[in-house]
Structure 1
Amino acid sequence: MTHRSIAIVSSIAFGVLLALAPAGSAHAGVAGSVALTSDYLFRGISQNNQEPALQAGLEYAADSGLYVGTWGSNISWLSDLTAFGIPVSSSLELDVYGGYRGKFSDTVAYDVGALYYWYPGDYPSGFNSPDTGEIYAGITFGPYAGTTFGAKYSYALTDLFGYTDSDGSGYLDLNANWEFVPTWTLNVHGGRQWVENNDVAEYADWKLGVTKGFANGFSAALAYADTDADEPFYTNAYGNFLGEDTVVLTITKTF
């Protein structure tokens, strides 16, 4: 059994456990955020040609644990294709998602749902749509001594971001967050992207950073990120390797 098959079977087994677990509760209401980042990294790959991005999101969560939300950011990885002579106008990512969050216990929580990535714009005839639908399942442990640990697997129901015949692709996200002093959190992440029938596009990514919380819902995050992505494959028309090591600063306001 391949690593991808193991992850899929594990996700199915996890879904069965969810059906047997007691329902958790969440705080109902609407929450939102606005962020300015020096580079929009998605799974370690720059989405905006290593330039700043403005991002915003809004989510409604019910007491039952059900939630629905939307999130958006400016991007350039599609419109940059014009430098290759491919006329694409899309410069925006809009996501819509929904799911259910609950708890197995006071220190073990789960999250299952679906997410759709939409890239509005004009595309040439025959261009494989980058729009992508994924389902996901995640589990979080903690806090233990101020540290939480999480794992999440995302599975593509459609072609993944325009890769041909790539439905069934998956991404594994592992993370740990340690509040070592009040309002200061150390963030550690490791991930692996599998792309069905497109081995050259597969890679691992990792990140080490720190987040500082401030009053009135503001926070600042500084992180070092890197990947082992294939450099020629992930180099754009402007000669920029989008998976290179980089330092990213993000300022966020939540409300």
Structure 2
Amino acid sequence: MVMSVRGVIAATLLAGSALAATPAFADEADAPKDFTVTGNVALTTDYRFRGVSLSNGDPAIQGGITVSHKSGVYVSTWSSSIHGGDLYGDQELDLIAGWTGGLGSSGLTLDAGMLYYAYPSGHVGDANYWEPYASLAYSVGPAKLKAGVAYAWKQKGLLTIDGYHHDNLYVYGNVDVAIPNTPVTVSGHLGYTDGVLAPCYTCNGDKTGIDYSIGASMTVYGPLSVGVSYIGVSGPSIDSYTNDAVVGTLTASF
């Protein structure tokens, strides 16, 4: 949710929609050149959000569309099937708006924005919530380094077990290394949660937790890519929820 996240997938493809606006007084023939539309659909063996399964350990289907302007501003929507019970239902829908671009000659790339998590098929309570985010990325040879933070303030949609609303802080680091002369990229991730979205907050009240993953991905044909990751979290191992898992994903990008 990164996968996001905010960054895995089960049953019916969840379509996304995006809005694009034409600049005032612009030549209509030139306007499309200012925008780029990208998207993807994916099938994964387990949708893991910050290490925790939101699909009850089952496969999930995901898809998203992003419209980007040459200024760096973008809007995006992403959705996944889930097993969320009465509160969350069977669909997660993320609405995202942000800006990304280089910071002068530093070599750093900033990505910052706001993410809204919605659960349209939930019918008990209100699980929707907002989460602003920011990250910095830097490339060193074949390696891309990234550090990010996301903070959800106290709000109605954040789950509580003591009758009070709580906030949530998530910080993380990623490294992706493209293996020279191959289509393979090796990736590592380490994240730390402090708050109501901690991996074991609902199982034992622990408000902090660590998630981690290591994996590899490769392009297999045209827009198709495959990936496999070993994913885990700190705390008790609960089957189909917080247990360590090997997750495979097939993605088609456009």
Report the TM-score when normalising by structure 2: 0.77
Aligned mate of 1:211, from 206, 214, 217:
217
State the match for 2:50 in structure 1: 43
Distance 2:119 2:93 in 1: 6
**Pair 1:161–1:217, CA change in 2 (3 A):** farther
Aligned mate of 1:131, from 107, 128, 132:
128
State the match for 2:194 in structure 1: 194
Any idea what SS the aligned residue of 1:214 has? Answer: strand
Any idea what SS the aligned residue of 2:206 has? Answer: helix
Does 1:223 pair with 2:223? no
Distance 1:89 1:188 in 2: 29
Q: 8 Å contact 1:202–1:229 — kept in the other structure?
A: no
Distance 1:91 1:196 in 2: 21
Report the TM-score when normalising by structure 1: 0.76
More helix by share: 1
- Please state how far the C-alpha of 1:132 moved relative to its aligned partner: 1.5
- Please state how far the C-alpha of 1:220 moved relative to its aligned partner: 0.5
Alpha carbon RMSD of aligned pairs, Å? 2.2
Does 1:120 pair with 2:117? no
Q: 8 Å contact 2:111–2:134 — kept in the other structure?
A: yes
Amino acid at match of 1:49: N
Any idea what SS the aligned residue of 2:46 has? Answer: coil
Does 1:140 pair with 2:137? yes
Amino acid at match of 2:208: E
**Pair 1:122–1:112, CA change in 2 (3 A):** closer
Hey, which bits of structure 1, 4+ residues long, moved more than 4 A? 196-199
Q: Between Structure 1 and Structure 2, how many residues are aligned?
A: 211
Distance 2:96 2:166 in 1: 18
Q: Deviations over 1:194-224 (max 9, x none)?
A: 1159651421000000011133211111110
Amino acid at match of 2:214: L
Structure 2 gap ranges (5+): 1-33
State the match for 1:110 in structure 2: 110
Distance 1:39 1:69 in 2: 23
Distance 1:160 1:43 in 2: 18
Q: 8 Å contact 1:220–1:249 — kept in the other structure?
A: yes
Structure 1 gap ranges (5+): 1-26, 80-86
Amino acid at match of 2:190: G
Distance 1:168 1:88 in 2: 19
